[in-house]
Amino acid sequence: MKKAMIAMSGGVDSSAAAYLMKEEGYQCVGVTMKLFDGGERAPGQKTCCSLEDVEDARSAAYRLGMPYYVFNYKEAFEQKVIKKFADSYVCGKTPNPCIDCNRYLKFDALLSRAGVLGMDCLATGHYARIVFDRERGRYLLKKGMDETKDQSYVLFRLTQEQLSKIRFPLGNYRKSQIREIARSQGFENADKEESQDICFVPGGDYASFIERYTGKSFPEGDFITIDGKILGKHRGIIRYTEGQRRGLGISSAEPLYVCGRRPESNQVVVGPEEALLTRTVYLEDVNLISAEEIGKPIRCGVKIRYRQPEQWAVAEPLGKEGLKITFDVPQRAPAPGQAAVLYDGDTVIGGGSICLEGRR
């Protein structure tokens, strides 16, 4: 009998994934990664990784007759995700820690642990699909059938070796079907709300977290216009991100938006909304899935945000691990550090991080 390690977050999706893998005939072991000392979830917070989540995962595993373990990955999470998040913000980038958690923890450290323990695969509750294309000789990552829940955007860093050892049993289901499965199995988390906040920044107050984590204060600096005119003082560069309008505290005849940040001079650049629009972004640290390389310009759909529909663009190779993306329609406020993911229909071509070369 094949063996599967099930990554269980305590949510309904990973619990249902465990049930579906058992139904496929796998001998399953449930595991939860202990990533940080999150303690109890405060009322109104929708984060993962709390003590309540661990107990929900344990309860689901017990109902399914599965062994269940909690693995300590706090040190790796602190170095690979939390520290990178804080350092990126201080440098004027807008990182996505969920992508880094998938990259360094779930599909690196945990997948390696699965191999050491003799598991044939690692299964998670992501809404995405993996298909082996015999003609190309490659594993393909595809959108989940429920496009309202599709998570392929945050999975674009998966490698061919990883894809060969991963299962996404929810990929062909809709969320409503998954909740019904959970109810039918008596899971206590069948109607549990989804996590929304970054797990280690409950409430979404990034600036306060970064100040506590780094032990640094971030001084006031100048708000400047695109042409260099000083308009006032900002409250610390980590409190702003591209596209932001609210909370600037600047008097102006027209609405002003954050168009860029300059950590080297401690300046926040502001301008009218049209100044946020750009047709071109540059990508670094590119990972390709559906092909080994992009040898010439290709036409494809591109997302620069998780919930954004793909936008038509041309992707042009720029040497090793670099791409230039030119959109048909100007895009609003692409920020350094954000992920841009390329699609061919429902298939992920690959993606990378928006880099400073495309910055204002």
149-168 burial by CB neighbour count: b if 16+ within 10 A, else e?
bbbbbbbbbbeeebbebbbb
> How buried is residue 298: exposed, middle or buried, by Cβ count under 10 Å (0-12/13-18/19+)?
middle
Give the sign of the dihedral formed by CA 168, CA 172, CA 174, CA 179.
negative
Q: Are 223 and 257 in contact (CB under 8 A)?
A: no
Determine whether the annotation assigns residue 247 to a binding site. no
- Is 215 assigned a ligand-binding role in the annotation? no
Q: Which of 78, 58, 45 is nearest to 18 (CA)?
A: 58
**CA 278, CA 285: separation in Å to the nearest integer?**
21
Region of residue 350 (phi > 0: left; psi between -120 and 50: alpha; otherwise: beta): left
How, if at all, do strands 230-234 and 277-288 pair?
Answer: unpaired
243 belongs to an annotated ligand binding site = no
Q: Give the tokens for residue 193.
A: 């709300």
Q: Which of 101, 259, 300, 355 is catalytic?
A: 101
Q: Is 25 labeled as ligand-binding? A: no
Query: Which listed residue (28, 98, 121, 199) is catalytic?
Result: 199
**Does the annotation flag 350 for ligand binding?**
no
User: 33 a known binding residue?
Assistant: yes
Residue with tokens 């063996």: 3
| 252 annotated as ligand-binding | no
Q: 286 labelled as ligand-binding?
A: no
| Residue 13 is assigned to a ligand binding site | yes
Q: Is 236 annotated as a binding residue?
A: no
How far does the chain reach from its first CA to its final CA, in angstroms? 56
101 is known as an active-site residue:
yes
Residue keyed to tokens 């990178």: 84
In the annotation, is 259 catalytic?
no
Helix runs in the chain, H state only: 12-23, 51-63, 74-77, 83-90, 97-101, 110-116, 160-163, 175-184, 206-214
DSSP-assigned letter for residue 239: G
Binding site, annotated residues for ATP: 7-14, 33, 125
Instruction: List residues with catalytic annotation.
Output: 101, 199
Binding site, annotated residues: 7-14, 33, 125
